[in-house]
Amino acid sequence: MFSFGLSSRRVVQYIVCLMKYALSRDFRFTFICWLAYSCAYVGRLNFNASIVPITERLAMSKADVGLIGSCFFIAYGCGQLVNAFLSKYYNTRIVFFFALLTSAFLNLLFPLVPGPMAMRVIWFLNGCAQSVLWCNIVKTLADHVSDRGLPNAIVAMSTSVAFGTCVAYGLAALFVRFGYWQGTFFAASATLAAAAVIWISIYKPAQSTTPSLALSESAIPAPVLRPRLGGAMIVLFLLICVGGIANGFLKDGLNIWVPSVLYESFDLSPSIAILLTLLLPIVSIFGAQLNRVFHEKIAAHAEMNAYLFLAVAVFSTGILVALYTQNLITILFCFSGMALCLGMINNTVTSMFVLNYRRRFTAVFTVGLAAGIINTFCYVGSASSSYLLGALAQSRGWLAVFVFMLGVAVFGLLVSILGAFHERRLLWNSP
């Protein structure tokens, strides 16, 4: 018998500790937020994953297909801003439940409507429904998760994007393999409906929902605890938002068009092209923990983004070389590295920055509003990338697309460098 150095008493104590954590408020709210947002991504990225069969079966141009994606992003970005202002008046439990159910119904309807115009309307409405989610998730975490549990919640929420993306692309690859791309949307509909039921069943707020404003010592250095916003913080906030535009453009441009690049440039079947795209979210899963370690070394969020945008620019250059030399291994490596860096930037601007500076934001407006504003800027980039990159690929080819993306990465790098100098001064001058 192997003892592994553990007595039966210690094993029991360990199991009891795990059970206590599983029943704790921190775990309960982190879990339902993670699950709901993972399922939301299944119900939005299923379209991205199905672009190749939709383009082929419905004889649509890349620009037309890209415009459907842009309709989602426009609705989502504008809805983020509206819901960010209104979220403090919402009954989060009920509003969130109906938003998930609405998205489930629209996913069920999408493959049944005739023609691209109807698809644009349905996907626009899906963007409106899903725009309710993120600001309410941030508000829920800030209000109901303790300072001790918040760093773990940030890491968990960043993995929800990767998990949801894996499920969306995995389902698409499976259904496309059997020649039934519509099944991806039906499966997403069922997933969203199940998430809605779980959300309303488990969401039980405590009697007091007043957020604790004390920050975890491991979350951010002490100098930023001054409870006011100030002009310097507003400038930093705007620079983070502008960097979010560049990140949204690159991140969602990559998610939407990678299967088409692999299918058209390397003569792969649609199902294999979609399946290989799963490398991107799988690699991105590690981004959350990397970001946490990264932030322990670099306090300034904008400085973190500067290093990551530099890496994105390098990977974009590698993609151009791989396209020119027709090297599949190299382009998959560069796609994965680019997705990892962009996911880390997204986690920094939409989660870490907002929650770590939440004491400053609550001096002027709610944390949900701050998160909603930043997410709106991110989706300005997303909305423009879907149509613009599709039209560019249609007229000039994929090399032109990635030259343009390289330019956007350099722009994000310059904005982040400016933000890094500003944030460092802000940290040094804080009492």
Domain definitions of the chain by residue range: 24-204+215-429
Q: What is the pLDDT of residue 225?
A: 42
Q: What is the pLDDT of residue 22?
A: 52
- For residue 379, give both structure tokens: 């989706």
Q: What is the pLDDT of residue 184?
A: 94
295-314 mean pLDDT: 91
**What whole-number percentage of the chain has pLDDT above 70?**
84
Q: What is the pLDDT of residue 4?
A: 45
Q: What is the pLDDT of residue 215?
A: 36
Q: How far is CA 180 from CA 8, 34, 46, 196, in A?
A: 52, 29, 13, 26
- For residue 251, give both structure tokens: 């991140």
158-172 mean pLDDT: 87
* pLDDT above 90 for 295: no
Residue 281: count other Cβ atoms within 10 Å of its Cβ: 27
Q: What is the pLDDT of residue 213?
A: 38
Q: What is the pLDDT of residue 18?
A: 46
Q: Do the beta carbons of residue 69 and residue 44 sit within 8 Å?
A: no
Q: Which segment of 166-180, 228-242, 349-363 scores lowest on mean pLDDT?
A: 349-363
209-222 mean pLDDT: 40
Q: Do the beta carbons of residue 250 and residue 384 sit within 8 Å?
A: no
- What is the reported pTM? 0.75
398-403 mean pLDDT: 93
* pLDDT above 70 for 84: yes
- Reported confidence tier of residue 14, pLDDT bands at 50, 70, 90: very low
Q: Do the beta carbons of residue 138 and residue 355 sit within 8 Å?
A: yes
Query: 276 phi and psi, to 5 degrees?
Result: -65, -30
The residue length of the chain stands at 431
Q: How far apart are CA 72 and CA 76, in angstroms?
A: 6
Q: How far is CA 139 from CA 30, 49, 351, in A?
A: 12, 30, 11
Q: What is the pLDDT of residue 349?
A: 87
- Reported confidence tier of residue 196, pLDDT bands at 50, 70, 90: very high
428 alpha-carbon distance from chain centroid:
31
- Reported confidence tier of residue 294, pLDDT bands at 50, 70, 90: confident
Position with higher pLDDT, 291 vs 231: 291
Residue 291: count other Cβ atoms within 10 Å of its Cβ: 24
- Reported confidence tier of residue 217, pLDDT bands at 50, 70, 90: very low
- Reported confidence tier of residue 171, pLDDT bands at 50, 70, 90: very high
Domain 24-204+215-429, what fold? Growth Hormone; Chain: A; (1.20.1250)
* pLDDT above 50 for 326: yes
Q: Which of 135-149, 185-199, 247-261 has maximum average pLDDT?
A: 185-199
